């Protein structure tokens, strides 16, 4: 039985050659490949400045510091997201204010409006599973209350909101290059984007020991730099991103067609162009269905089984945590099906056929 993985990294000879050229260059950290990758990423998304760092988490921690996030600040964020979305703001002394999600599994703007207090400084929408959050409504709330908006684009490279690339709409944005992402560099890595030159410059300094020149340290920083080999790989990956995303959308359309009436399939909003980092269904017998598919050689995942407002790291720190009915219901039912930029459509047919077979046996 051929096994179907949940995801698979795109790899070709062009990527191998780019990596070896970087190895042979003799320049390994924050060199010409990094600078070119930053320029190409910024141009692709539609922002003026891109700053690479060692991970999404590191990049966002530096961004929060550069934007002045500090002790006692509140940042509104969905509970239904990967835990790293929350970590940087806590490290900066801010408090996450968890709110519920809408039917796209992204921040519910009505819940955001209700959560604003005098201590709120920003909103952190997550474009979860590759589907954009409702940015017009969120930006309007931010403008009314004089808040910044930082887009979490870790799962949404290339996605569009009303024709605009996600990451180009808020005050700033951040992307991850972890191996499972739509755009990877074959390892950890991330970046922030902004149109604010001063914020970008401060993040550049913070990632590199607080210096502008080799021996002059203007602020106390960190060693959270990026490397030339991964940048060279990322530049090739970026050139293939739109093609790989188009195939993900083709896979999702086939899932939508074949799974109608069998499970609850994801809903793409009319103003959104999702890039389907994950294809997430809902089923009340999620665990049994996942176990059945595993027996058939089909990998699945749960993203995410524990909502962040119920994580031990959060419940042990805060006492005034909310009830979030939609989030608490969906984490019991969600199941991620195989999807990646080169997934054969015959494999999609097999997954759908096995789900139909499971339903027919019940």
pLDDT of residue 360: 87
pLDDT of residue 286: 98
pLDDT of residue 212: 84
Residue 228 Rama label (left phi>0; alpha psi -120 to 50; beta): alpha
Q: List, in order, residues 6 or more apart from 277 with CB less than 8 Å away.
A: 129, 130, 155, 156, 181, 182, 248, 339
pLDDT of residue 151: 99
- Is residue 152 within 8 A of residue 125, CB to CB? The reply is yes
Closest CA to 338 of 348, 328, 324: 348
CA torsion sign, 316 to 322 to 327 to 331?
Answer: positive
Dist CA 198 CA 68 (whole Å) = 12
Average pLDDT over residues 3-24: 98
pLDDT tens digit sequence for 246-266: 999 999 999 999 999 999 999
CA torsion sign, 334 to 129 to 135 to 242?
Answer: negative
pLDDT tens digit sequence for 313-353: 999 999 999 999 999 999 999 999 999 999 999 999 999 99
Percent of the chain with pLDDT over 90: 98
- Of the pLDDT bands very low, low, confident and very high (cuts 50, 70, 90), residue 111 is very high
Quote the Cα angle for 307-257-306, to 5°.
5
Check whether 362 has a pLDDT greater than 80: no
pLDDT tens digit sequence for 112-125: 999 999 999 999 99
Token reading at 28: 């390994």
Q: What pTM, to 2 d.p., does this model score? A: 0.98
pLDDT tens digit sequence for 261-280: 999 999 999 999 999 999 99
pLDDT tens digit sequence for 150-180: 999 999 999 999 999 999 999 999 999 999 9
Q: What is the crossing angle of helices 228-259 and 13-25, to 10°?
A: 160
Q: Which domains does the chain have, with CATH numbers?
A: 13-235 (3.40.640.10), 241-360 (3.90.1150.10)
Dist CA 17 CA 329 (whole Å) = 47
Widest pairwise Cα distance in the chain? 70
Check whether 235 has a pLDDT greater than 80: yes
């Amino acid at each position: 039985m051929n096994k179907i993985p949940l995801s698979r990294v795109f790899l070709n000879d062009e990527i191998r050659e780019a990596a070896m050229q970087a190895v042979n260059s003799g320049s390994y950290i924050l060199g010409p490949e990094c600078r070119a990758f930053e320029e190409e990423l910024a141009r692709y998304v539609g922002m003026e400045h891109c700053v690479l760092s060692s991970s999404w988490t590191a990049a966002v921690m530096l961004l929060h510091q550069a934007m002045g996030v500090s002790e006692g600040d509140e940042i509104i964020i969905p509970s239904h997201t990967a835990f790293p979305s929350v970590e940087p703001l806590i490290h900066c002394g801010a408090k996450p204010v968890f709110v519920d999600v809408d039917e796209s599994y992204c921040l519910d703007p009505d819940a955001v409006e209700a959560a604003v207090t005098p201590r709120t400084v920003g909103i952190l929408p997550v474009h979860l599973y590759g589907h954009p959050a409702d940015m017009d409504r969120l930006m309007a709330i931010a403008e009314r209350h004089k808040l910044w908006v930082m887009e979490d684009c870790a799962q949404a490279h290339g996605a569009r909101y009303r024709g605009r690339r996600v990451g180009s709409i808020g005050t700033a944005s951040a992307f991850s290059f972890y191996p499972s992402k739509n755009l990877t560099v074959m390892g950890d890595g991330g970046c922030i984007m902004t149109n604010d030159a001063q914020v970008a410059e401060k993040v550049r300094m913070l990632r590199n020991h607080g210096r502008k020149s080799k021996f002059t340290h203007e602020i106390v920083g960190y060693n959270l730099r990026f490397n030339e080999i991964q940048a060279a790989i990322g530049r090739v990956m970026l050139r293939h991103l739109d093609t790989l995303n188009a195939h993900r959308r083709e896979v999702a359309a086939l899932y939508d067609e074949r799974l109608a009436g069998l499970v609850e399939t994801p809903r793409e909003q009319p103003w959104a162009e999702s890039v389907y980092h994950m294809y997430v269904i809902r089923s009340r017998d999620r665990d049994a269905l996942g176990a059945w598919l595993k027996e058939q050689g089909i990998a699945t995942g749960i993203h995410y089984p524990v909502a962040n407002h119920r994580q031990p790291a959060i419940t042990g720190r805060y006492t005034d945590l909310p009830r979030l009915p939609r989030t608490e219901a969906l984490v019991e039912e969600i199941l991620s099906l195989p999807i990646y930029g080169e997934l054969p459509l015959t494999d999609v047919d097999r997954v759908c056929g096995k789900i139909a077979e499971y339903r027919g046996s019940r």
